[in-house]
Amino acid sequence: MKKDDCIFCKIAAGEIPSQCIYEDGLFKVILDLGPATKGHSLIIPKDHYEDLFEIPEETAAQAMVLAKRLSARLMEKLHADGLNLVQNNKETAGQTVKHFHLHMIPRYKDDMQNILWKPGEVTQDELALIKETITG
């Protein structure tokens, strides 16, 4: 299923140009146009799902298998030193394109990027309360 005004639906359909590094019946994988690092790629399902909450479990699982396979290739071909998988959902979490996608970001020593977060502080009691909220 496609959405008319969706840029990633158009890329998946080949209506907007992209540098495609992999394609099959379900996914198109392209180089990001605003890369965090060399080789920053996006795994895009060809069908339109807005985010993690909409994508079917089976498709999400297939995206992760593809990420594992292509990440190894990026590491090897680009001589990367590490790799981040990033997947943003909703504006608050940094999602700018509302069509599910999984970022593969190769990392290089001294690439000066910062995809990590500043650790907060929490007590065991606070953790226990949060656990109750999630599991209760």
By beta-carbon proximity to ligand AMP, the closer residue of 15 and 126 is: 15
Token readout for 61 is 């699982």
Q: Does residue number 26 form part of the binding site for Zn ion (CB under 5 A)? A: no
Whole-Å CA distances, 41 to 20, 61, 87, 135: 9, 18, 12, 35
Whole-Å CA distances, 56 to 49, 59, 62, 70, 132: 8, 5, 10, 21, 27
Closest residue to bound ligand AMP by CB:
34
Q: Does residue number 96 form part of the binding site for ligand AMP (CB under 6 A)? A: yes
In angstroms, what is the minimal distance from the CB of 83 to ligand AMP? 15
Q: What is the dihedral of CA 18, 24, 27, 30, to 10 degrees?
A: -30
By beta-carbon proximity to ligand AMP, the closer residue of 5 and 121 is: 5
Locate all alpha helices (DSSP H) within the chain, ordered by sequence. Answer: 7-12, 57-78, 124-135
- In the list ligand AMP, Zn ion, none, the entry touching 18 (Cβ below 5 to 8 angstroms by class) is ligand AMP
Question: Which x/- pattern over 56-95 shows residues binding ligand AMP (rule: CB under 6 A)?
Answer: --------------------------------x-----xx
Residue in 28, 46, 48, 101 binding Zn ion, rule: CB under 5 A: 48
